[in-house]
Structure 1
């Protein structure tokens, strides 16, 4: 299917077999290339350069060389770059959304959301250079004491395939805005949405050369980025398995690291809930973007009085949600990202059914298109209860008391997002306050992020750091304490 929307940011001739950055901020040939495959069709969408460790090492050196001048630039000049980049995304929004849908397998509404949020993140970043950059501290007479925020130098960003534009921009924009250079390694499955579109926007916006390096690559490129001497911080978003490796390597090199990882998120539906609304929320949380979201509703814990009726309504939704090519604009679910992920989802469903769960809907697939699936009678110890599925599976578990609902929700090593739906806000909030999670939603589902909020999980969902909103200044800078005297005075020695 050909892209027909006019645009200026999408240019296959620029990035075909190339990487972005270097010393002069250009597109340069890579030693290796890789095809980008459109999940819905299996056809080649593009060919891009693939970075190896030596490429990453050179990029980090170039970024470090460019960073001091950028940090010294007047705050208003830095801010203007982000406003111009945001304008580029807003201008080409339709064409970019269509491209993102094709590269990621997400529906057009999700792709439009990515473009809009990327522009919002850039506008928020434009405000960071104009925020107060420190504090004056109490001290003795004749001495000035203050603490100021200073950039890490070079920030390495490793981003995933599921929301590639947002989850790259979420770190790239504030890291640059706070005076750092950035080396971005997007997932090699979505290098354009997660990397090259960002490079194009900043290139058009006049970001000084060398400050942004974009290098799609595999695990060896990610390891090289973590190990690079010039890199002061790593911002990683991805699976818990990969995040643990990144965290271990960063710890060995004493790097600051922000880990935004997976989740096994619970939606609790109380017996006084509006079941039409609850089913709508549960279906969205479980099925949106084929469940390939760290905040996806991985468990639906429903009161036994209403669990059968809620399940019936979920089955009705699952059987009527159209699945197909997201670029058509007429479907609710697209394909999973690759065959490996599809087999992972199917294995969890089959193992859970063998363990006693009931397959109420779905459980079948064609190519990479997995049908929306509903499992009932899901119990602790079953794969569908314990493991992050990252697929369109609604796993329903009954409970009898509020205490039992809390215990079921907290029975996980993850701790990202939880939600409670019920008519009594007081009761739902009281339950919510007992849930071990970084994100809590009362009378909503588990998939939510508004850019201005601190975002982070606990346990296997992350290392306790938060990104976004009020957290960004703390994440992408470090404190430096400074004292000044009018003249040096003798000490007791």
Structure 2
């Protein structure tokens, strides 16, 4: 088809209060999808009720067994086709990420690329071995095999809406599960409707994927639905506690990927220019709205003044504005609530003794990149996840103090250490309570093929991605086979 006359990938029927549950249908309750940079309405989405969620879960349970028994190569083919459809419609998908989530163009392009990578990675799973032969007595075959859970509920966030949903949806489907996805209503198109369209175009059977944006009531219904065997949640620690409690009460498997107050550690032998560049990536990418963002920049006292001077100078040159212009490094925060939260933490930090080196102001949803120094333990900015473009700088005097400061948090997601001495950095890293550790790199990292997860209040020790996907989205079954049943003596 001539691309000039190609129908939009996300068309009018997808933007008129619709949800997807094997077909597109309009709901009575809707919400507008709003472009945070401009306030423009992009379309409307359907808001699923608890009853809608329960119906989708029941339908998924009915459809799942047929999907799990489908030839493995056909399941793989559908996932590859979804990846192909994503690439073919990449420009439009990127545009939705820019407009609906406030992503800059490079961030949106990167998010699409790792989403496609996740689809191709998942497409290999049906072709992989799904069990092992166990030792046993002669005359008996004993094996352990991986089997699908049944129905997986996925609750995904607004910040990397497409990828953070797809990294769960794709492997769950690949190994034979059905999925009910509840994307964040603020990014329901790029983080929900796009995924529905990819699998619709790829030929996924009806009932295997439902996309139901909704509020907390819809999420609670997903955790309560008896047909749902597992919940994969990515979001705030506060919301994750509620999800974990509800899933546990209902005896569901649960994977929680939550917040972080991650440490970016700069040792006194670091290359300052490289350290600043890695710090800027760690703190300011996507306006700091990433669970892996560096919430604390820990700098050795011997280089602290020079580091702060270069960091502040770099930050002052970062343009802020409408990401659709393609001329900015930082776009808007997702909504006014997030702006107000960031502003309140910055104000409280200064009141508690921190120094505002630059930034700290905002215009609408556009928060200026900010640098706070002199932030000591006990300062609100040291402890609280800000989820905004704010660098929180704390000085240390020894490697032992750097470890103590980095571990002075209930969070445990990501940490990064910059040093010319890899051995020294590794020795520090060995003492950090984190699920992700990066030597001479940024705190914000994901290669898709890696297990991803945190400890403490950053998660429940679960990981998602790469080899962890088999562990997360399947369950073991033990099978033994004998030629004849034994004559037990009892």
- TM-score with structure 1 length normalisation? 0.97
The one of 243, 249, 255 equivalent to 2:246 is: 249
In the alignment, what sits opposite 1:129? 126
| CA shift digits 1:22-75 (9 cap, x unpaired) | xxx100121311101110001111101000100000000111111000000110
Q: Give the C-alpha shift of residue 7 in structure 1.
A: 6.3
1:61 lines up with 2:49 in the alignment: no
Aligned to 1:418: 415
Matches within 5 A, 1:45-444: 45-444=42-441
Distance of 1:305 and 1:207 partners within structure 2: 58
Q: Tell me if structure 2 keeps the 8 A contact 1:5–1:94.
A: no
Structure 2 distance, partners of 1:36, 1:332, is: 23
| 236-245 or 273-282, larger mean C-alpha shift | 273-282
Q: Equivalent residue of 1:231, what SS?
A: coil
**Cα deviations by residue, 1:378-426 (Å, 9 ceiling, x for unpaired):** 1111111101110000010001111001100000000000011011111
Aligned residue number for residue 19 of structure 2: 19
Separation (CA, whole Å) in 2 of partners of 1:7 and 1:454: 38
CA distance in 2, matches of 1:82, 1:15: 25
Match of 1:36 in 2: 33
SS at match of 2:332: coil
Q: Which runs of 4+ in 1 moved over 3 A?
A: 4-8
DSSP-derived class of the 1:47 partner: strand
Counterpart-to-counterpart distance in 2, 1:16 and 1:235 = 28
Give 1:5 deviation, angstroms.
11
Equivalent residue number for residue 478 of structure 1: 475
Deviation at 1:8, TM superposition (A): 4.5
Contact 1:6–1:95 (Cα < 8 Å) also in 2? no
CA contact (8 A) 2:449 2:465 kept: yes
Secondary structure of residue in 2 paired with 1:17: strand
Instruction: Quote how far apart the aligned CAs of 1:456 are.
Output: 0.5
Whole-angstrom distance in 2 between the partners of 1:9 and 1:450: 27
Q: Aligned partners of 2:11 and 2:189: how far apart in 1?
A: 10
Please give the alpha-carbon distance, in whole angstroms, between the structure 1 residues aligned to 2:305 and 2:374: 10
Structure-2 separation of matches of 1:319 and 1:62: 53
Contact 1:267 1:301 in 2 (8 A): yes
Moved more, 413-422 or 88-97: 88-97
Counterpart Cα distance in 1 of 2:177 and 2:452? 21
**Map of 2:454 onto structure 1:** 457
Indicate if the aligned counterparts of 1:15 and 1:27 stay in contact, CA closer than 8 A. no
SS of aligned partner of 1:19: strand
Structure 1 residue 15 displacement after superposition: 4.2
Conserved in 2, the CA contact under 8 Å of 1:36 and 1:190? yes
Shift of 1:464: 0.2
Q: Following the alignment from structure 2 to structure 1, what is the Cα–Cα distance between the partners of residues 449 and 121?
A: 8
**Cα contact 2:94–2:108 (8 A) shared by 1:** yes
Instruction: Give, in angstroms, the shift of residue 12 of structure 1.
Output: 3.1
Equivalent-residue separation in structure 1 for 2:135 and 2:311 (angstroms) = 60
Structure 2: gaps spanning 5 or more residues: none
Which stretch shows the higher mean deviation, 369-378 or 276-285? 276-285
Q: CA deviation at 1:489?
A: 2.6
For 1:163 and 1:123, how far apart are their aligned partners in 2?
19
> How many residue pairs are counted as aligned between the two chains?
487
User: Is the deviation greater in 377-386 or in 11-20?
Assistant: 11-20
Distance 1:95 1:26 in 2: 21
TM-score (norm 2): 0.98
CA RMSD of aligned residues (A): 1.1
* Alpha-carbon distance change, 7 to 267 in structure 1, aligned in 2, over 3 angstroms: farther
The answer to whether the 8 A contact 1:159-1:185 is kept is yes
Q: Distance in 1 between matches of 2:18 and 2:415?
A: 42
Deviation at 1:13, TM superposition (A): 2.1
Over residues 309-339 of structure 1, what are the superposed CA-to-partner deviations in whole Å (9 max), with x where a residue is unaligned? 1111111111110000001111000000000
- SS of residue paired to 1:81: helix
Q: 2:144 is paired with a residue of what secondary structure?
A: strand
Structure 2 counterpart SS, 1:46: strand
1: CA distance, partners of 2:104 / 2:144: 46
Alignment check: 8 A CA contact 1:18 1:27 kept: yes
